[in-house]
Amino acid sequence: MIESETIAAWPTPLNEERVRTKWDEPLPLSRMPKILIADDQPDILEALRFLLKAEGYQIDAVASPRALLQNAERYDYDAVLLDLNYTRDTTSGKEGLDLLERLRRMDASLPVIVMTAWGSVDLAVEAMRHGARDFVQKPWDNARLLATLRTQVELGSTLRRAEKLQAENEILREEWRRDLIAESPAMKPVMRMLARVGPSDANVLITGEHGSGKGVIARALHAASARAAQPLVTVNTGGLSEGVFESELFGHVKGAYTDAKADRAGRFELADGGTLFLDEIANVPPGQQAKLLRVLETGEFERVGSSKTRAVNARILSATNANLRDEVEAGRFREDLLYRLNTVEIAIPALRDRREDIPPLAEHFLKRNAAKYRKDIAGFAKDATEALLRHAWPGNVRELEHAMERAVLMAGGGEIREADLFLRMRGGDAPHLEDLSLEEMEKLLIQKAIGRFDGNVSRTADALGLSRSALYRRLQRYDL
């Protein structure tokens, strides 16, 4: 008899070959399910060990409750075969039920299969009420035991994958809070709306000026939803001509038109189960609005050139800088389509109306671009911060992002100064880089680099990614 506190375990030898089971194709040893067996009778442990080892399982066998709990705390198992009685001459099963409760507290997804004698079926049913997944009777039928174990191992694996996916989704749902920089009072209503609407499947219309961050809000809504693990598919509807609109959104079959060389899935199919973001929605051609409305109402569509109706389940987010109600009044946008799109509307304020966000946004873009261009820049000089706050930012957050990339390229020291920003105030005299030609931009970059390296041509050429001869040609061309 094995003493009550002794861990009786037989190591499973590792062979170079895979182990074939009756139930499936050969599995690599790294994927062999691991089973914990607990019984106070050595002959039962030995019989189970040899039976399960032959079926490709890794086995740990223990003879006492203490050893069972120690192993369950220390290792991950795919299933547990648990006897309900351990003290000599007891048949109440109370020990096993207590162990079952403790195992459930450790890992609720761990499948526990109880073992009981023929006369203890009522006890096995009680164990099922306490969370056991199934039971086998002693003496067992090998085929039934193996089938039960395999089923529970597969079910436990599925439940654990589901739990992991749920945990990942929870993390994704919180990421939008970290990625959004919104400290200003003007952005508080937007953040509250994101928190309320994000987890739902409601269609959302995002409005705001060009460059205000509508795409960022769309990504945040998707990340906060239960669809976060599924794709977010973006399409700029304003950039689609009427001739390719249907093919892009709904797909086509081979031969549908001259250039249709093969079947192609559209954006709605790609977004099935996830989110479809329709940017620049106000620019959808009037002739295509009815086709878009149909799929929003019914979830059904056909690929171009096909009569087969397909179903899709996608959340619809859309964005525009236009006033769609004015577009409806002018007859350029369908009113019923607007109602389908804007179950909820989120209006993004312009950057000039959320100036408290300018410094943290600038810092965010500075860090990102400093890492991108491998430059050691600590932050902003006082004059640069003041210039950032003074600027009107007609291009909103997008303009600020581009300004930070430009400043990182231009900076000659360890911090950004006002001269590195090249911001043109309305009526001011500082050059706006978007207003420069490519040659003027190149000349400016060379001037800055020469100044940064005190006229050293070799170092300047290396920094600009040019050969010395190429740099000399440019110096001559720009009379520098």
Give me the tens of pLDDT residue by residue for the chain, a chain 480 residues long.
Answer: 333 333 333 333 323 232 333 333 333 334 588 999 999 889 999 999 999 998 889 999 999 888 999 988 888 899 999 888 877 656 667 788 888 888 888 887 889 998 877 556 677 778 888 888 888 888 888 998 999 899 888 888 877 776 665 555 554 455 555 557 888 999 999 999 998 999 999 999 999 998 999 999 999 999 888 898 888 999 988 777 777 888 889 988 888 777 778 888 889 999 999 999 999 999 888 888 999 999 999 999 999 888 888 999 999 999 999 899 999 999 999 999 999 999 999 999 999 999 999 999 999 999 999 998 888 998 999 999 999 999 989 889 999 999 999 899 888 888 999 888 888 644 344 455 555 667 777 877 887 787 777 677 778 888 888 887 788 778 777 766
Q: What is the pLDDT of residue 4?
A: 34
Q: What is the pLDDT of residues 145-187, one digit of tens each?
A: 999 899 888 888 877 776 665 555 554 455 555 557 888 999 9
DSSP class of residue 41?
-
Cβ 281 vs Cβ 341: under 8 Å: yes
- Phi, then psi, of 216 in degrees rounded to 5: -65, -40
Under CATH, what is the fold of the domain 180-349?
Answer: Rossmann fold (3.40.50)
Torsion of CA 235, 345, 221, 271, to 10 degrees: -40
Provide the token pair at 358: 């300018």
Residues forming a β-bridge with 138? 117
The pLDDT value given to residue 388: 94
Residues across the chain: 480
Helices (H), 411-467: 418-421, 438-452, 457-464
Judge whether 331 and 291 are in contact, CB under 8 Å: no
Using an 8 Å Cβ cutoff, are 318 and 341 in contact? yes
pLDDT given at position 325: 92
List, in order, residues 6 or more apart from 442 with CB less than 8 Å away: 474, 478
DSSP one-letter string for 210-272:
TTSSHHHHHHHHHHTSTTTTS-EEEEEGGG--HHHHHHHHHEE-TTSSTT--S-EE-HHHHTT
> For 352-477, CATH number?
1.10.8.60
Domain ranges in the chain?
A: 29-161, 180-349, 352-477
Helix (H) or strand (E) holding 73: helix 65-74
pLDDT digit string, tens, across residues 231-261: 899 998 877 777 788 888 998 888 877 777 8
The closest of 432, 377, 439, 378 to 409, measured between CA atoms, is: 377
Rounded to a whole number of angstroms, the distance between the first and last alpha carbons of the chain is 95
Check: CB of residue 27 under 8 Å from CB of residue 19. Answer: yes
| Rg of the chain (C-alpha set) | 33
Q: Which CATH superfamily is domain 29-161 in?
A: Response regulator (3.40.50.2300)
CA of 120: how far to CAs of 1, 128, 178, 342, in Å?
A: 23, 13, 56, 62
Helix (H) or strand (E) holding 296: helix 286-298
Q: Which residue is associated with the tokens 């705390």?
A: 73
Q: How far is 38 from 80, CA to CA, in rounded Å?
A: 8
Measured CA distances, 160 to 68, 155, 230, 314, 399 (Å): 21, 9, 19, 26, 45
Provide the whole-model pTM: 0.56
* Residue pair 260/254 in contact by the 8 Å Cβ criterion: yes
Domains 29-161 and 180-349 share a fold: yes
Where residue 98 falls (left for φ over 0; alpha for ψ -120 to 50; beta otherwise) is alpha
